Amino acid sequence: MITIKEATSKKDLKAFVQFPFKIYKDSKYWVPPIIKQELETFNKDKNPIFKDADARFFLAYKNKEIVGRVAAIINWLEVDKQGIKKMRFGWFDFIDDLEVSKALLATVENIGREHNLSYSEGPVGFSNLDKVGVMTEGFDHIATMITWYNHPYYVDHYKALGYKIEKEYSESSFPFSNVKPEFFKKAQELIKRRYKIRALKLTTTEEVMPYADRMFDLFNESYSALSSFVEITEIQKEYFKKKFISFINPEYIQFVVNDNDDLIGFAIVMPRFAEALQKAKGKLFPLGFTHILKAKKHSKDVIFYLIGIHPDYQNKGIHAVIFNEYYETFTEKGIQTCYRTPELEDNLAIKQIWKHFDPKVYARRKTFVKDL
């Protein structure tokens, strides 16, 4: 018999966060989160997303042992402002037992019906800056810190429980040696003169911070057309600045401004922390922080996290200016491999940006949906 219990106490929430450590303990490819950071994500007093969203966390028990988990999420910005009656679910992990996954998803679906929502979709997080999608290909590749890893049987459970594919994503990589400066070196000089723009040379986090709010505003403008978009609010900006900006090498954050000093383009790249997080095993101390700091300084692999161009400047080659800046930085640091985060398969504009680097897809993932 499967028993579902809501995780409300600190002890239960810690068990919720730690459950994947059990089912992936022998995996070479799963990348564990930092337990403390994950708990802060679910802390309604620390994460401002809870001013615009509700989330409940559930654990599944069988024979008094935890065998699954799921987060049931309603983003009220999405429901009330956009009119999208979506019940979200994420952080969905379970043993290979259909009764377990069925009981967990039934709990989510019932909450959706209680709030008169139209459908349930997952796995997704609170917003666009969270992890997304269940992996359907690429199980023999190490995950990244910004994606979920899962066992292959997960997909079978979705299908068996009446869920259908909603959105499709791909992850790709390319060796830095594929980046040929002739594709953008001359073009970026012409583009700078034509549109009177320039790239900012920022080398410290203190220099980056004054532009961070404008970056999130530009993120809202440049990503608003995507089907999965939910805006970042003012109060969330402060949270994300503290959570992300200080964690990223300042030279990996690129800004492009026009002659009025308006931000018209940005990009964020991160060192690949996967192996460091595996060594940390969910803890910053005593040695986890050392592994992460070493990766931040010396990793030869990078992850392209976000690129945003103002709508008025899209299709004008602004990304050539950004790539030129990264080319110089990556050459100096001896970067070997570039990874891209999950991108929607129907985002043709982003595919055009990367085509000259001959990226190869190494993983695919999907979200699944069910009418309520």
In the chain, count H helices and then E strands: 12, 14
Region 291-305: mean pLDDT is 93
**Domain annotation covers residue 369:** no
Can you give the C-alpha Rg of the chain in angstroms? 21
> Same structural domain for residues 282 and 352?
yes
Cα 53 from Cα 50, distance rounded (Å): 5
pLDDT at 353: 82
- Domain closes at, from 152, 172, 192: 172
Give tens-digit pLDDT for 65-108: 999 999 999 999 999 988 999 999 999 999 999 999 999 999 99
User: Which of 172, 199, 219 is the last residue before a domain boundary?
Assistant: 172
Q: What is the pLDDT of residues 92-104, one digit of tens each?
A: 999 999 999 999 9
User: Could you read off the pLDDT of 353-366 as tens digits, one per residue?
Assistant: 888 899 999 999 99
**Residue 347 lies inside a defined structural domain of this protein:** yes
The total number of structural domains that make up the chain: 2
193-248 pLDDT, tens digit each: 999 999 998 889 889 988 888 998 998 888 877 666 778 888 888 888 877 787 78
Considering the domain architecture, whether residues 146 and 190 belong to the same structural domain is answered as: no
Whether 6 and 95 share a structural domain: yes
Q: Both 207 and 238 in a single domain? A: yes
- The per-residue pLDDT for range 24-47, each reduced to its tens digit, is 999 999 999 999 999 999 999 999
Q: What is the mean pLDDT of residues 290-307?
A: 92
At residue 218, the pLDDT reads 92
Residues 189 and 163 reside in one and the same domain: no
What pLDDT is recorded for position 227?
63
Q: Which two tokens stand for residue 216?
A: 């999130």
How many other CB atoms sit within 10 Å of the CB of residue 137? Answer: 16
Task: Name residue 168's amino acid.
Answer: E
Q: Which residue range(s) make up the domain with 61?
A: 2-172
Cα–Cα distance between 367 and 51 in angstroms, integer?
25
Q: Which domain-ending residue is among 140, 172, 204?
A: 172
pLDDT in tens, 134-173: 999 999 999 998 899 999 999 999 999 999 999 999 999 9
Host H or E run for residue 158: helix 153-160
In this prediction the pTM is 0.93
